[in-house]
Amino acid sequence: MHAILYRWTVRPLAIVVFIFGLLSPAVPVSRAADTLPVQISDEEFWKMIENFSEDGGIFTSENFSSNELGYQTLIPKLQNIVKPGGVYMGVGPEQNFQYIAGLKPKIAFIVDIRRQNMIQHLMYKAAFEMSASRADFLSVIFSRKRPEGLTETSTPEQLFTAYLAASRDDALAEANRQAIKDLLLKKHGFKLTAEDQLTIDHVFDVFSIYGANLNYSSNIDNFGRAAPGRGGPNNVAYADLMVVADDNGVNRSYLASEDSFRFVKEMEAKNLLIPIVGNFGGPKAIRAVGGYLKEHGAIVGAFYLSNVEQYLFRPPTGGPSIHTQFYQSVGTLPLDSSSTFIRSGNPRPGARGGLTPMMSPIMEILSEFKQDRINSQADVISRSTN
């Protein structure tokens, strides 16, 4: 996934928070009794989205899906470090489902500066709730009638071969679009604005037009037709992301099995996957999540960053680096020695090519940061393993 950082305005609150962060070193939090809820009400879920979120921002790519093919190899290594039943934080769209299905957290927060990403996650939430199986789910998000012969034991290859051959069904698309809006607005009572509802339409249309060929820079024109998007070597299809396997030939995508799918589905049904709008370099979102977790005696197990650090050190709109604000905010999260950053980048500085998934202990990075040793993306990559 490419840039998630777009625009950040320094406000008095940000300065106060930043100064406070400098005076408050990150230390492991003594583990109190975990009081995280087993289910969150619709009212509380929406209140968390509203209260934790910051103003949204824009970026040149809409990032409809991941472009990180290598995620599979990291999941079994993470499972040896990150305890199940903890807290997951992440950024971006469906790649979070892969890590959630693999790490099995109790609650998850997705922090992304694009409000469209939050809306896309709500569309996913509705699709999960509407679907009894993986094959049904793909029918909803891609607006294709469920192909004959698919069962709960179908492999990802069988699922996506069938859906790649299927054509968009206009009547089904309109029925699903309305069902998604009704579920979010009427059943859950989420206070989506008129603009939010137009964003649902836009995201839904892109998914339905491209189907399983959707990629992170898919685009449509004003007439609802597929249009050229941003290219690149990582511009891989959704189907390709779901059928890759790890080094032992095991597929660990969230659509690899019904069990993986149902784990994410259950979290969505219980409002335990919370998408919020927030700039990694901003003053509010990450800290708000941290405050909530501390109140409930919970520890962050994994924090997926994609390659956002690249843009923290070198903002695409110019101006000074804002990585300091990010690491100070992370330092306010409840952490322990197992808390792990998941990031993407190229382990060979200056090289071009695909994004490699990597990990590093969060507390070690924060310690290095406090000693002024983290001043570029290369500094965090050199302290990561893959």
For residue 220, the model assigns a pLDDT of 77
Per-domain boundaries in the chain: 12-381
The answer to whether 21 touches 331, Cβ cutoff 8 Å, is yes
Cα(334)–Cα(338) distance, integer angstroms? 11
Strands 273-277 and 226-227: unpaired
pLDDT of residue 30: 52
CA distance 262 to 135: 12
pLDDT at 60: 61
Calculate the alpha carbon distances from 14 to 20, 290, 291, 320, 323 in Å.
10, 16, 16, 15, 13
Token pair of 198 as six digits: 């137009």
Work out the end-to-end distance of the chain between its first and last CA atoms, rounded to an integer number of angstroms. 17
Q: Which residue is associated with the tokens 């370099």?
A: 281
Secondary structure percentages of the chain, helix, strand, coil, to 5 = 45, 10, 45
Q: Do residues 374 and 323 lie in contact, with contact meaning Cβ atoms separated by under 8 Å?
A: yes
Phi, psi of 226, deg, nearest 5 = -60, 135
Rounded Cα–Cα distance for residues 96 and 273 (Å): 10
Phi, psi (deg, nearest 5) at residue 188: -90, -25
Residues in the chain, pLDDT under 50? 1-27, 29, 351-352
Among candidates 41, 51, 37, 47, which has minimal Cα distance to 187?
41
pLDDT for res 24 = 45
